[in-house]
Amino acid sequence: MSSAAVAAFVVRCGLVVLFLPFSALDKVLNFEGAVHQASETFSWRPLAILAIFCALGIEIIMPIGIVTGAGDRACALVMAGYCAVTAILWKRFWAQGDFWSDPGGKGRTLFWDFLKNLSLAAGFLLLTVGLDGSGLAVFLAHPLASSHPYAARQEQP
């Protein structure tokens, strides 16, 4: 395996490790807590439970696709959307009322979490379109194809 392939593997693992195994495992081991958190947005309990099961599916299947390279661009796009949606639904710093008044308040804490989610989304978008955007046309032509992240390539000097 080339050094470029090892680097690609490490970067991909670094991007998804938050979700698989940690966040997914937390949802499984603390299912009621996850449902309680989802209930902050979805007050009807069955909908909150459905949201947790959908999140589990995303947090398990998409990282596997990203790390293995199987439909990795599409998986990364789903993860980017997931990170953005969770930022908007659960990192609502603007709704706390203490953002400007309390530097140590919940609003400030959620603000940084919100930005972290958006930064992760951007990282996943880089996997989808490539560093220079050249992968966008390939993705649009073949959205479920692999980017072949570990294929032998000539390394740049």
Q: Tell me the per-residue pLDDT of 21-69, one tens digit each, with 9 for 90 and over.
A: 999 999 999 999 999 999 999 999 999 999 999 999 999 999 999 999 9
Residue 57: its pLDDT value, please?
A: 98
Distance (Å, whole) CA 64 – CA 72: 9
Statement: residue 157 has pLDDT above 60:
no
Cα–Cα separations (whole angstroms), residue 35 to 53, 104, 109 = 10, 27, 22
What residues does each domain of the chain span?
3-141
The token pair at 116 is: 């972290």
Nearest to 23 by CA among 57, 74, 71: 57
Q: Tell me the per-residue pLDDT of 85-123, one tens digit each, with 9 for 90 and over.
A: 999 999 999 999 888 888 888 899 999 999 999 999 999
Residue 97: its pLDDT value, please?
A: 86
Record the pTM.
0.91
